[in-house]
Amino acid sequence: MIPERFKLVFMSFLAIFICYIDRVNISVAIIPMQQQFGWSEAQVGIVFSSFYFGYMFTMILGGYLADKYGGKYVLGFGVLAWSLFTFLTPIFAYQGFFAIFLIRVLLGLGEGVAFPSIHSLYARWIPFTERTRVIAITNSGISAGTVFGFALTTIIITMYSWELVFYLFGLLGIIWSFFWFKGFSSMPSENKKISDYELSKILNEAPSSENAKKVPFKNLISNLPFLAITVATFCNNWVLFTFISYMPKYVNSDISIGGLGISLESDTFLILIILPAVIGVISLLIGGFIVDTLIKQGLKVIVARKLFNSIGFFGAGVLIYLIPYQTSVEITLILLCLINFCIGMAAGGFGVNHADIGPNYTGNLFGIAGSIGMIAAVFSPLAAGFILENTNSWFLIFNISTIVLFFGGLFYLFFSSANKQFD
C-alpha cells in the first residue's frame, strides 16, 4: 500500500511539472511568435519578464494563505487558474502586445502560489529525515517540465502550430485539478485513507504539525540566515530564468552574434535544450539523496547545506563564464550539462533551508524569499533583451550570470544557518 504522503509528493511533482511546461513553452514559441508579430528584442524581454511581475506578488500571498488555511485549496485553485490562462494565451496574443503582456502577468499570478503552497504542505506532511529528498524529487519537476516543455513545444510547432502548444498544455492542469481536489487534504489528520502508523510517524517527525502563527515580519529584515536564503534565491533566479527564457533563442541565434546558429527543425536543437535539463533532473534527485544520507550519518545540517550550495553556485559560475569562449557545439553542450548538474546540487543548500530556520513558517518564509527572488526573474530577461538589442551579443549576458552566482554563493557561505530562528 502506497503511503498517503508519497501520493502527495507525486501530485506535487506533477503540479511543478505542469507549472514549468506552461512557463517555458513561450521560450520556444517566442521564435515563431516574434517573426509573426514583429516584436523587437526588447519586446521579447518584456514578454518574458511580464510573467514574473505577477508571479512575485502571489508567492507571499500563497505562502500566507497556505500556512493559515491549508495548501490543498491554494495549490489546487492556483493550478486551475494558470492552466486556464495558458489555454487563453494564443487568443490574447492576436489582440496585440499589451494583451500578451496581460495574459502573461495573469499566468504568473496563478503560478506564484505553487511552491509556497507545496512547502507549507510538506512542513505538515513530511518527516524531517525525508525532507531534503522529497523536495529534491518535487523540484525535479522543474527540470522535467523544462525538458518536456521544450521538447513537446518544438515538436508541436514543427509539425502543427505554436497556438496548439498552449491549448494542449492548458488542458493538462485542468485534468490534474480534478484528481487533486478529489483525493488530497491539507493536513494528515484530515486524510481519511491514511493509516494509523503513517499518521503517527508524521505527527512525531514532521517539522510542523500546526497552522502557522503570524509571521514575524519585523525580525526578517535583520535576520542574516533568512537574508542568506533570500540573496541565494535572488542570485539563483537571475541565472535560472535567464537560461529558461533565452536558452532556445541562444541556440537558435546566428553564430555572428555569439549564438549557436542551430535551426528549430534540427535534432541538434532538441538535444541542446533537452539534455542539460535531463542532467538537472538527475542532479536534483542524487543531490537530495546524498544530503539526507550525510545528515543521517551525522554530518551537521549546516555543513551539508553550505557544501552543496557552494558546489552549485561556484561550480556553475565558473562553467557559465567559459561558454562564450567556445567555438565547438559539443563542448558547449558539455558545459551546459555540467552547469545544470551543479545547480541541481544547490537544491540541498538554500532550497530547503527555510524549514531549518522556521519550521512553523515554512510557507511564509519560502513565499517572502521567493517573491524577493522573483525581482531577479523580472529584471534578468529585461536585461538580456536590452543587452541583445543594444550590443547584439551574448557575451555580457553570461559574464553577468557568473558574477551574480559568485556573489550569492559567498553571501550564503558566510551568513546561512540551520538553527531555528523563528519559534
Return the pLDDT at 423: 65
pLDDT of residue 216: 63
Give the predicted TM-score (pTM) of the model.
0.78
Mention every residue, 6+ apart, whose C-beta is less than 8 A from residue 272. 251, 260, 262, 329, 332, 333, 336
Low-confidence ranges of the chain (pLDDT < 50): 209
| Alpha helix segments (H runs only) across 210-328 | 217-220, 224-252, 267-296, 301-322
Rg of the chain over Cα atoms, rounded to whole angstroms, equals 20
- For 254, the 3-state DSSP assignment is coil
Handedness of CA 286, 288, 292, 297 (dihedral sign): positive
Question: pLDDT tens digit string along 358-415?
Answer: 877 776 787 788 878 888 988 998 999 899 888 888 889 999 999 999 999 999 999 9
| Residue 57 burial (10 A CB sphere; 0-12, 13-18, 19+) | middle
The set of cell numbers assigned to 189 is: 489528520
Identify the residue whose cell numbers are 528549430: 264
Contact 111, 61 (CB under 8 A): no
The predicted structure's pLDDT at residue 310: 95
The span from the CA of 86 to the CA of 31, in Å, is 18
Q: What angle do CA 285, 127, 215 make, to 5 degrees?
A: 100
Q: Crossing angle, helix 162-183 and helix 131-159, to 10 degrees?
A: 150
What per-residue confidence (pLDDT) applies to 358? Answer: 81
- The pLDDT value recorded for residue 353 is 85
pLDDT at position 360, please? 74
What was the pLDDT predicted at 320?
A: 95
Task: Provide the pLDDT for residue 402.
Answer: 96
- Written as one string, the DSSP assignment of 111-174 is HTTHHHHHHHHHHHHS-GGGHHHHHHHHHHHHHHHHHHHHHHHHHHHHHS-HHHHHHHHHHHHH
In sign, the C-alpha dihedral spanning 106, 249, 147, 315 is negative
Q: How far apart (Å, rounded) are the C-alpha atoms in residues 36 and 24?
A: 19
Taken in order of first residue, the domains within the chain and their CATH numbers are 4-415 (1.20.1250.20)
Q: Label residue 60 exposed, middle or buried (CB < 10 Å: 0-12, 13-18, 19+).
A: buried
136: amino acid identity, one letter:
A
Q: Amino acid identity of 13? A: F
